[in-house]
Chain A
Amino acid sequence: MNVQPKTVDAGSRKRKLLPLMGNEAIARAAWEAGVKVASAYPGTPSTEILESLAKYPAADIDAEWAVNEKVSVDIAIGAALEGVRAMASMKHVGLNVAADSIMSQSYIGAHGGLVVIVCDDPGIHSSQNEQDTRLFSRFANIPVLEPSDAQEAYEMTKLAFDISEEFDTPVIVRSTTRLSHTRSVVAVGERVTPKPKGFVDSSTKTVTIPANARRLHPKVIEREAKLAAYLETSPLTRWEKGDPKFGIVTGSISYLYVKEVVPNASILKLGASHPLPGETIRAFAKSVDRLLVVEELEPVLEKEIKAMGIACEGKAFFPRLGELSPELVRAGLAKAGLIEAAPPARAIDIEPMARPPVLCPGCPHTSTYVALRGLETRVAGDIGCYTLAAVEPLKSMDTAVCMGASIANAVGMWKAGTEKKPIVATIGDSTFLHSGIPPLIDAVYNKANITIVILDNGITAMTGGQDHPGTGKTLRGAPTFKVDYETMCRAAGVEWVRKIDPYEVGRLYQTLREAIVHKGVAVVIASRPCVLDPVKIKGTPLTIAKDGCIACQSCMNLGCPSLTWADEMHEGRHKIKIDETSCIGCTLCAQVCPTDCIQPVTP
């Protein structure tokens, strides 16, 4: 096979060295590899990949936000079929949204080169689950490359395009939160512009009617075998000879933890965790007395190696949940009796204080949930900053399944026919565009009696403030058409639509009450920009007039982080004070204060 990674040693001296985050290294590699079209929907920890790509010249690369992950993959597929290199990037759960496209595209191939970057989130730092993308690559019969650091992320992303073209397959490059967000120095290279191949022009291949699909499926299996053979000799598979007492099969960032703990061990580092180079693994197993598998999350390698009839141990010593660490690798190897356990950690006897994330001071989502709690509604929630309303003091969201689930969840709750409370779905603007429109159409079509609140803060806030079709701006900041939610809802058949400013608490209550009694689908569009993005909003802060506060705690029910307890008490309750540096002056607290003691700071 002529697919060889261009290793760092080859003239690394002359190569430019840049301190890059894993995600930036991936973007750099994509640009250098001559990617023509890159599309993504934001999602932590993958977001910075497209954000960094947008910094490369527009003439080189078309980088855009797609409305969701499936759309991003379909766009990349279209470009690849036209014969140019294309890429989509997403967080692990985004792959579920894009799954249908990838499963079929596996049969069709890659033509111009198609790479999907997927960032997993072991430890669930900011996601709704910790699914392992390596399992998906097996499901889809496509290879998955697993870099361990930013340099490898750069090398492997470039190589992924070569493999994609050579084997005519989509390729997944799998990162994790830790790799995506670790910065280290990367030796980079120059951009090459591959010659466009032209349209694939082979409808027996690109149209997956049953007759074609039946012919394509065996080719997928053959391709997998060829890839496995390639990985036997590819530098992606690296055998580090060491002490033969035990050997470790590992890859991804787990490799770094292993090197940290046992730098001189025998290691078989798998740069691709699917398909597996069976012969190399067998030979490696023979060379050591005991074979261990160190992998984050699921026992994917372990089960497959065992299925090859090779004895190995893994999850007996290392956790299946959460992020790995040098500590856990050491503890596992010690449990296996192979190395000394770490000395007991220093006991510090300090109970850590809880500091859960909270909505920002002045967040436009706050009042909607205060009102929904007051109105005693059953709230089907969704994913975004507003999911933080599921906990005290807002505690008014009953469900949050995955992006776009809220509206159809509410339809189902209504159909169950047993709910006594009014049923409300709350969905962010970006989430609505991502996957809220088909369920909206469904709700009207199936005559559901629900209220839908579109929380229109004019940005994709949770992931750090990305544009979307409702902001009127593209990834590169160019003006474009701005979706109008009201028109869209009316086109779907919603007759009752109201647009309100969630900073007007009284009107908000009133509108929600009306929406709830309306028979059929009622939509409330709560519009007010996020206070962080696209511009940081800071108005005149408020302050609490001396002696006016009766410590009733009404304002504390907003959960605004600018409000805290003062040292003074009133009848055994803490009076409140406002942190003027962080208060943005939204006046929500003043509106709920029964004594009118919250007033703007006078200069």
Chain B
Amino acid sequence: MSSPVKSKGARPKTKAGSDTAAEPAGEPVKPARAGGNILIVGVGGQGVLMIAKVVALLAQKQGYQVKQSEVHGMAKRGGIVFSHVRYGPEVWSPTIVKGEADALIALEWAEGLRWLDHLKHEGVFIADTRRIVPPFACRSRKAGAPINYAKETPADIVSRVADGFALDASTIAEGFGDARAANTVLLGVLSASLAYPEADWLEVIEASVPPKSRDINRNAFAAGREWALAARANPTLRFDSSITSYEAPAGLLQPKITLEINAAWCKGCDICVKLCPERCLALNAEQVAVLKSPDACTGCHICEWLCPDFAISIRTSHPEPVTA
């Protein structure tokens, strides 16, 4: 594994604002090794497989043996999607060994973090800072419970990896008319780390997208590439510094909830039992509503409002601030 693939022709020019896309002098992009392991991750519907396809075609074009492997059984149902692309003179395993990925491309922030242990020490980390918060992350009904989403910020991560880039690719792509072209923005960023001719990239991208979105994708690629070249020259640009923390707002109040049921007024209609979002009410043997799980009650007042006989009253007070 030696002979680096050299970039043919002149330094690639980006279409959008090619005047600003100056490569840092002296240290151009990394020479590509004869072969590589690229791991692309995200969630269903984001276009992980499109990136994988482009990288695979590009590698094939350079004359490599390529294996592209993915598991996408649950992809459509909002689950995790990942694709391994391995290329070189001879490729055996279709999967990348943990710690051996030359590049990790994440279309979603928390997914990038999930796979970080697959990246080589000197590998390139490229992530969209876009968050797709799963319903699972909004599950705790405790007062003031934070969203159960990754806490690490782009600044944290970029400082922890050797060669990291974190950008809001979705917004960049949206600027060209389609947020779904975020994957092509990330390909632009990747292109600045692999010494393959820009023309080859564009050719395989065009072959992999529907004809009517070619322009959007060409622009998205150019913007990603330009952004990456600028960020290489100026490391402060490597991450989106506007995102400081993913922590939940602090200083929330822990409410004290008292729920009273006037048994004499309750006629056992079951409405409160069926409509309590926390399912904490029940009818007892006498067909009277009782609070069966007081800990689950969030004091949302629904039962109080819906009871046709005004049998339920709720009082909420907010004495102590939650310590963050």
Contacts and interface: CB of A to CB of B under 8 A. Distances in A.
30 contacts: A126-B74, A178-B69, A182-B69, A183-B68, A259-B92, A260-B93, A325-B93, A350-B116, A353-B134, A353-B148, A358-B78, A360-B77, A385-B77, A551-B300, A552-B301, A553-B278, A556-B138, A561-B135, A563-B135, A565-B133, A565-B147, A571-B316, A572-B144, A572-B252, A572-B254, A572-B298, A573-B300, A574-B138, A594-B302, A594-B305
4 A-B pairs with least C-beta separation: A126-B73, A572-B143, A357-B79, A357-B77
B138 A177 contact: no
Contacts of B60: 19, 185
A374 B92 contact: no
Interface in A132-165: 149
A260 B74 contact: no
Contact of B76 (A149, A183, A393, A464): A464
A502 to B, nearest CB: 18
A280 B69 CA distance: 33
Nearest to A564: B133
B97 A327 contact: yes
A98 interface: no
B122 to A, nearest CB: 11
B73 A125 contact: yes
Interface in A564-589: 564-565, 567, 569, 571-574, 581
B135 A554 contact: no
Given A126-B74, A385-B77, A565-B138, 14 more contacts: A19-B56, A19-B57, A181-B72, A182-B70, A182-B94, A183-B66, A183-B69, A348-B117, A356-B136, A358-B78, A556-B135, A560-B135, A569-B249, A573-B298
B41 to A, nearest CB: 11
A354 B74 CA distance: 14
B224 to A, nearest CB: 21
Interface of B: 43, 56-57, 60, 65-74, 76-80, 91-95, 97-99, 110-111, 113-114, 116-117, 119, 121, 133-139, 141, 143-145, 147-150, 152, 160, 179, 249, 252-255, 274-275, 277-278, 298-302, 305-306, 316, 318
Contacts of B91: 184
A326 B95 contact: yes
A393 B68 CA distance: 35
A388 interface: yes
A45 interface: yes
A559 interface: yes
Contacts of B116: 348, 350
B137 A345 contact: no
A357 B136 CA distance: 10
A348 B157 CA distance: 10
B71 A185 contact: no
A256 to B, nearest CB: 5
A393 B139 contact: yes
A430 interface: no
B78 A355 contact: yes
B318 A572 contact: yes
Given A346-B99, A346-B121, A557-B277, A184 B253 contact: no
Contacts of B78: 355, 357-358, 360, 561
A257 interface: yes
Interface in A360-407: 360, 374, 385, 388, 392-393
Contacts of A553: 141, 277-278, 298, 300
Contacts of B73: 44-45, 125-126, 177
Contacts of B110: 353, 355
A369 B97 CA distance: 41
A550 B97 contact: no
Contacts of A572: 143-144, 252-255, 298, 318
A178 B92 contact: no
Contact of B80 (A149, A345, A355, A560): A355
A352 interface: yes
Q: Among B91, B93, B150, B254, which residue has the most Cβ atoms of chain A within 10 A?
A: B93
B260 to A, nearest CB: 18
A358 B65 contact: no
Given A345-B99, A345-B117, A350-B150, A356 B138 contact: no
A94 B139 CA distance: 36
Contacts of B147: 564-565, 574
A99 interface: no
Contacts of A19: 56-57, 60, 66
A263 interface: yes
A253 to B, nearest CB: 8
A360 B92 contact: no
B69 A181 contact: yes
Contact of B94 (A256, A327, A559, A571): A256
A559 B60 CA distance: 42
Nearest to A353: B110
Q: Among A181, A184, A572, which residue has the most Cβ atoms of chain B within 10 A?
A: A572
A182 B135 contact: no
A350 B74 CA distance: 24
Interface in A302-353: 325-327, 342, 345-348, 350, 352-353
A373 B67 CA distance: 46
B302 A552 contact: yes
B203 to A, nearest CB: 15
A359 interface: yes
B114 A532 contact: no
Interface string A524-566: 0000000010000000000000000011111011011101110
Contacts of A178: 69, 71, 94-95
Nearest to B135: A559
Nearest to B170: A581
Given A256-B92, A355-B78, A464-B76, A182 B67 contact: yes
Given A185-B65, A357-B78, A553-B277, A346 B97 contact: no
A93 B268 CA distance: 48
A560 B114 CA distance: 23
B160 to A, nearest CB: 8
B194 to A, nearest CB: 20
Interface in A89-130: 125-126
Contact of A552 (B69, B114, B274, B300): B300
A353 B114 contact: yes
Contact of B65 (A184, A374, A552): A184
A388 B136 CA distance: 13
B235 to A, nearest CB: 21
Nearest to B72: A181
A182 B99 CA distance: 21
Given A346-B121, A564-B135, A353 B299 contact: no
Contact of A356 (B57, B79, B253, B274): B79
Given A185-B66, A358-B77, A353 B150 contact: yes
Contacts of B141: 553, 573
A126 B44 CA distance: 15
Given A357-B77, A464-B76, A532-B76, A181 B134 contact: no
B306 A594 contact: yes
Contact of B56 (A183, A253, A326, A346): A183
A155 B111 CA distance: 37
Contacts of A257: 92-93
Contacts of B80: 355
Contact of A564 (B57, B72, B138): B138
Contacts of B119: 346
Q: Among A327, A350, A356, A464, which residue has the most Cβ atoms of chain B within 10 A?
A: A350
A327 B133 contact: no
